[in-house]
């Protein structure tokens, strides 16, 4: 945890190996995937934290076998969009119940990574048969 005014680390949270991007939602939860391009393949998870309590509240595996993917994440409302370049998909997780199976938003995408939200539907993503 970084104090943005002082630009210094003020606390650390438990993470899985090679934890990468952090996305914080308005609901007081933060999500962190791990396994990104920092070393050997490792079990990959999506871990959710309670921001105020600084505790892990849920965790789900992202793959059945170890990997080294670099996941993109975006929190919007009570959902988490996870872009997975390893299986070429974008999945949507319910933050109220992270254990619930995710909805697959897109498959066969060449290499999804970073994600942004727009209220406009522009139709630029080729989702194959979805």
Q: What is the pLDDT of residues 93-109, one digit of tens each?
A: 999 999 999 999 888 77
In sequence order, what are the beta bridge partners of 42?
A: 67
**pTM of the predicted structure, to 2 decimals:** 0.81
Strands annotated E in the chain? 2-3, 8-9, 23-24, 29-33, 45-50, 55-61, 72-76, 79-84, 89-94, 103-106
Residue pair 29/50 in contact by the 8 Å Cβ criterion: yes
Encode pLDDT of 33-63 as tens digits. 988 666 788 999 999 999 999 999 999 999 8
């Amino acid at each position: 945890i970084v104090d943005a005014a002082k630009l210094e680390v003020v606390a650390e949270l438990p993470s899985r190996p090679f934890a990468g991007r952090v996305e914080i939602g308005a609901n007081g939860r933060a999500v962190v995937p791990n396994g990104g391009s920092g070393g050997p393949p490792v079990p990959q998870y999506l871990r959710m934290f309670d921001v105020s309590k600084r505790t892990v509240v849920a965790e789900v595996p992202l793959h059945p076998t170890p990997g080294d993917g670099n996941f993109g994440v975006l929190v919007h409302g009570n959902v988490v969009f996870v872009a997975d370049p390893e299986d070429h998909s974008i999945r949507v997780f319910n933050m109220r119940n992270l254990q619930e199976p995710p909805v697959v938003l897109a498959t066969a995408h060449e290499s999804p990574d970073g994600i942004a939200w727009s209220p406009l539907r522009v139709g630029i993503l080729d989702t194959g048969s979805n």
